[in-house]
Structure 1
């Protein structure tokens, strides 16, 4: 498994726990992402995703809600909600990662950790976010 895929999966697990249990797991999160825990490239990327989502959560959640027709964020499955958050963070703030790579990774993670319907659900929402975030003239299908 590629390091970035592993990092995304680790970030998802931490975001999911933060979503369900709140700040009570901050010590566990810090320990899981501490230098010396696993591959530095993987933990650094996972840490960036987790911290980025936490810092930009209001903006990220607003983006998701604006394109998720007939869906409230709080009514989405927690795992899907956090897959969308981590991928939306990448789409909005990581210009070095091709948007389609981010979306494909999110779909694969949804297939692995969520339901059979999650892949298409995640794909539809993220593709709309990608189109909205792309500068005019760069909106490729």
Structure 2
């Protein structure tokens, strides 16, 4: 299983869910899989689904963490990709059954931001997640 690939697919699906209210998580993931056009093993697909579903189920609490500590940037003003990468990282640190250590989650999120975001996304993600870890108990 490639967790990095699963995270990439999950971020793409979360982005779709964020901007298309009529789409289900299953439809969003199916669209990502069809766009990728590569053979992805079942365990990677299952992990991506767990990330999407878990992030989406805990969205209100996750957005609360982000909003509380990013006073300079309102959640709806953040770039959609950045917002969803941060959401997923917080899910992995706080809500996932296999919680990631903050350093690992932040590193993975920064790498996703370099792949999918703008030139400034990786610094932005690192700053937001670093603030959350520094100022909040994520356990």
TM-score, length-normalised on structure 1? 0.83
Query: Does residue 133 in structure 1 map to residue 133 in structure 2?
Result: no
Aligned residue in 1 for 2:17: 18
CA distance in 1, matches of 2:75, 2:105: 20
Aligned residue in 1 for 2:27: 28
5+ residue gaps, structure 2, are 34-38
Worse-matched range after superposition: 100-109 or 123-132: 123-132
TM-score, length-normalised on structure 2? 0.84
By how many angstroms is 1:69 displaced? Answer: 2.5
Query: Does residue 8 in structure 1 map to residue 7 in structure 2?
Result: yes
CA distance in 2, matches of 1:17, 1:33: 9
Aligned residue in 2 for 1:100: 103
Aligned residue in 2 for 1:120: 123
Aligned residue in 1 for 2:49: 47
5+ residue gaps, structure 1, are 136-141
Paired residues, what number?
132
